[in-house]
Chain A
Amino acid sequence: MAFDFSLSEEHKMVQDTIHQLARRLAPQQQALRQRIFKDQAYPEELWQAVAEAGLLGCLIPEQYGGNGLGLLPMTLGLEVLNSYGLGSVIHVITGMDAACILRHGSESQKQRFLPAIASGALKLCYAHTEPDAGSNLFNTQTHARREGDTYVINGQKVFITAADVCDYMLLVARTASPEQAKAAGKGKTYGLSLFLVDTRAKGITRQLLPMQGLEGCQQFALFFDHVEVPAENLLGPEHEGIAAIFDSLNPERVLAAGMALGMTQLMLKRSVDYAQTRKVFGDRPIGSYQAISHPLAEIQVELEATQLLTYRSAWAFDQGLSVGQVGHYANLAKLKGADLAIRSVDQTIETHGGYGFSEEYEIIHFWTAARVMKTAPVTRELILNFVAEHALHLPRS
């Protein structure tokens, strides 16, 4: 009998909270979107409002200052927030870090970080990608050497989102080389560790990367030159951080899919509103032409299908299914979500004709934001590799 697709009262309440928040911000919405999409900055007052609403506390249990509702409610809330164009990947990244700390952090780490995340006082970024390591995590070169009560970190990271506004980063670094792993008789996942690093720690240099496609934030290259991190900031077991890493990457994909769903809804709304009023030939709105209405109707079909996939992946995480099972659903949701977001922006531009490119209509700002979702946080190709290998049992690429 456990085959229930209905949203619970709590789920609807989460959606309603964010709708109410957006309504309250109605007079400022356009200015806020301008900051987010054009200036690539996330207004602090909006961050605080979202925290006050409880969105950042969804993954955090009540004993640590959150509401403990789970990833599915957070995904639903993020979807609504993004359906007004008021979201940012900083929510996704802070969320994934919170999930990681909750599942793999020590008691004192949970007490230090989780209440401040829930209240909006602390933002976190994620430092994983390097010039030669991203899709291939095992190439990670940044290393951390234990010296007494501290780890000393050297190396560099690239494409680190929001490293300027975040207070802490979750850093992936090597504590044992592949050779050492081999000598110890361990597999290739051995030797990676996770650290909570103060983004303002001595020895970290930040270089802005002029990039497009990220709403509400900018990206940076980070250089680590003898950065000392207290040993108590090691997250999870030394050398064996891989489980914690995947436990953060899965929620990241789910939340990214939620963002894509929200963006699709915003685009559909813009398209429908325009198609209902715009008249070109005679007195019929262009929405009465099937060339306009059918592509939009197809997006609606895809939206509802992708919602099911996304909610299932969030549900799987909340149920505590294995990292592999959650990863399967999360990857599918992320792939479909990204494809759909791109398609919805494209079709919205098509519906608007020349106005689709006008800054006043805002639509064009979503183009790069949608497109980046195909590449990050994981490429479409890697997802297809994953599905081919794990769901279809084809030989590894």
Chain B
Amino acid sequence: MDIIVCVKQVPDTTTVIQIDPSGKEIVRDGITNIMSPYDEFAVEEALKLIEANGGTVTALTVGPESAKEALRSALAMGADEAIHVVTDGAPLALDSLATAKLIAKAIEGKSYDLVLMGRQAIDDDAMQMGSLVAELLNIGQITSAIKLEIEGTQVKAQRTIEGGLQNIEATLPLVVTAQKGLNTPRYPSMKGILKAKKKPVQDIPAGSLGVSLEPKVKIEALVEPPARPAGRIVGSVDELVAALTQEIKVV
């Protein structure tokens, strides 16, 4: 079974984010980046599947040169090889569709049975990459999977839906997006990272894939969340009850 896992490099959740003067981008200098945690679930699932069934795992990312770190992490976890669609020189703000086109084009013609990725990247939370890629590749999709079983080409999956779970079946090839709960990703290891250095990474300049990167969606402005208002000390229980029932109406 050959699996392609898409990973995205995102700012570390503990990094303090600042909006750059354009108001449309965050300041990228000096921040720590990580692989988006949902993508870690996808990588782990891919590794488990090939450990059980044999095959190869190819990690793929779209992003600037620095995004190679996310590929290195995937390789260190155990992926066999990687493809980097390098966007340096391309317009910075690729929208989801442009990114999906690049992914689809890059894996077109490759042999694959399954494309795995996180259900969302934790930076822009757009949650549409799996669906867009499935559509462009003209194959089926299962989103937000928390269980995945594959026998031959038959796929059984469980996914989270509002207020419950849904069991579904599908046939390979397929795009599956990973939800929290699918697995516990393995820890990175020094041995794995040493091995990762020797694994092949193919660079593909985004401009060479012949797809239009013209964004359909443009970011107009990034706005910081409002500061939390100061607390208030109430004088009596009565005042507190009045505030809770009449003012903010939580009771």
Contacts and interface: CB of A to CB of B under 8 A. Distances in A.
B14 A9 contact: no
Task: Give 4 closest A-B pairs by Cβ, nearest first.
Answer: A54-B190, A13-B193, A20-B188, A52-B187
Interface in B165-207: 185-191, 193-194, 197
Contact of B191 (A16, A54, A73, A77): A54
Given A9-B197, A26-B13, A20 B73 contact: yes
A21 interface: yes
A26 to B, nearest CB: 7
Given A21-B188, A54-B190, A57-B191, 12 more contacts: A13-B190, A13-B194, A13-B197, A16-B193, A17-B188, A17-B193, A20-B73, A24-B187, A53-B189, A53-B190, A57-B190, A67-B194
Interface residues of B, number: 15
A204 interface: no
Contacts of A17: 188-190, 193
11 contacts: A13-B197, A14-B190, A17-B193, A20-B34, A21-B187, A23-B12, A23-B34, A26-B14, A53-B188, A54-B189, A54-B190
Interface string A1-25: 0000000011001101100110110
B187 A69 contact: no
B186 A52 contact: yes
Interface of A is mostly: helix
Contact of B194 (A10, A21, A49): A10
Contacts of B190: 13-14, 17, 53-55, 57-58, 67, 69, 73, 77
Given A10-B194, A13-B194, A23-B34, A52 B13 contact: no
Interface in B63-77: 73
Contacts of A23: 12, 14, 34
A176 to B, nearest CB: 42
Nearest to A77: B190
Contacts of A54: 189-191
Given A26-B13, A26-B14, A49 B187 contact: yes
A272 to B, nearest CB: 12
Nearest to A62: B191
Nearest to B186: A52
Contacts of A9: 197
A22 to B, nearest CB: 10
Nearest to B73: A20
A1 to B, nearest CB: 25
Contacts of A77: 190
Nearest to B191: A67
Interface in B1-47: 12-14, 34
A6 to B, nearest CB: 17
A246 to B, nearest CB: 28
A53 to B, nearest CB: 5
Interface string B77-121: 000000000000000000000000000000000000000000000
